[in-house]
Structure 1
Amino acid sequence: MSRAWMDRFIDTIEWIAAAFVGIVALNIFLAVILRNTLSYNIPDSFDIGRMLLGILIFWGIAATSYRGGHITVDLVWANVGPKYKRMIDVFATLVLLFVVSVQTWTLFDKVRGTYNDNVLTFDMHMPTWPFFAVAWAGDGAAVLLIAIRTYRLIFHPEEMQEEPKIKAVE
């Protein structure tokens, strides 16, 4: 796999996650405006909103997993040399890869279950499995991005250079 292809793939995943942020915000905004100005409730707005939020969470996991933007505890990492920092990063990423892979496997079971059970929304009786499938795709993207991160951490650590962080001036 070429570096350019992987970087385009990573950027695409991040843009998809960003698009879901916009969709969730638009859904909430329209529901509130219509409810408060016209006393009109969008059918299934709540169900769609919570399923979109679930999709957003899983695509957000994909976006943050590669960049390492998730919450971390760096007490030990900050106090060791570069060799041990890299070892800790590789170990932590392998653990994350395992956990998210298992999560993806179990989420697929949820997609299959909602499809087989014909779970529908309350008002419009829309099937819910497509929402679960899109969330599952985000989780699958997270597995791929974590695998790319692991590969780069092991074989090309120079590609994982973080951008300098801005420090506050006292």
Structure 2
Amino acid sequence: MSAPAKRGIVDRVIDAIEVTAAIFLAAVTLLTFVSVGARYLFSFGILDAYDFSRLLLGILIFWGIAVTSYRGDHITVDLLWSWGGPGLKRALDTFASLVSLGAMLVFTWMMGEQVLSTRASNLLTFDLRYPVWIFYFVAWIGLACAILLLVVRTIRLIVRPEVIEQQPHVKVD
């Protein structure tokens, strides 16, 4: 049995981003499960459960965008891609990554503006009066990670496309 290949820092950062997205998914699932169970079994509601679950869901979506942007696991229309040879496929993948990167740059910039606006407005959750801008900021970090991963993906598509094709999904040891 051969030893596993040594993973570089970029791959470890990618793995950390994927694990972070998975943790947010687990948090949303757990909060929803506990909240519904407490409400129906004990007639007791968790304070700010609705606010926290919707804010965490937003965070989860933005961190998920980061993961799917790198993996290329999002919904695609690949009619032209499936007919093309390796050169065309690589060119289309690179073009799609660059377009996604441009869109994500604008989206991240606008979300950063929203974080600052929400912080300035002092928006708070309903029950616990917890600042909402913190959740927006964590979501913004997910978008910033999406930009990082799209840059890595684009560079790898240009320089070493075999790394993208052979990239395994995250395994938590």
Q: Which TM-score band (shorter chain)?
A: over 0.9
Normalising by the residue count of structure 2, what TM-score does the alignment of the two structures yield? 0.91
Could you tell me how far 1:160 is from its partner in structure 2? 1.4
> In the aligned structure 2, how far is the partner of 1:47 from the partner of 1:14?
24
Residues 12-51 of structure 1 correspond to what in structure 2 (within 5 A)? 12-51=16-55
Aligned mate of 1:118, from 122, 125, 138: 122
| d(CA) in 2 for partners of 1:24, 1:162 | 31
Alpha-carbon shift at residue 163 of structure 1 (Å)? 6.6
The answer as to 2:15 corresponding to 1:11 is yes
Residue 123 of structure 1 deviates from its aligned partner by 1.2
Aligned length: 162
CA distance in 2 between counterparts of 1:63 and 1:81 reads: 27
Aligned to 2:3: none
Counterparts of 1:24 and 1:15, CA distance in 2 = 14
Gaps of 5+ in 1: 165-170
Runs of at least 4 residues of structure 1 off by over 3 A? none
**1:75 and 2:83 equivalent?**
no
Counterpart in the other structure of 2:131: 127
1:53 aligns with 2:48: no
* CA deviation vs aligned residue, 1:59-111 (integer Å, no higher than 9, x gap): 00011110101110110000011111100000000000000111000000110
**2:79 counterpart SS class:** coil
Q: Alignment partner of 1:125: what SS?
A: coil
* Match in the other structure for 1:168: none
> 1:100 aligns to what?
104
Query: Is it true that 1:153 corresponds to 2:157 in the alignment?
Result: yes
| 2: CA distance, partners of 1:94 / 1:145 | 12
- The sequence identity of aligned pairs, in percent, is 50
1:87 aligns with 2:91: yes
Gap regions ≥5 residues in structure 2:
1-6, 169-173
CA positional deviation for 1:161: 1.4
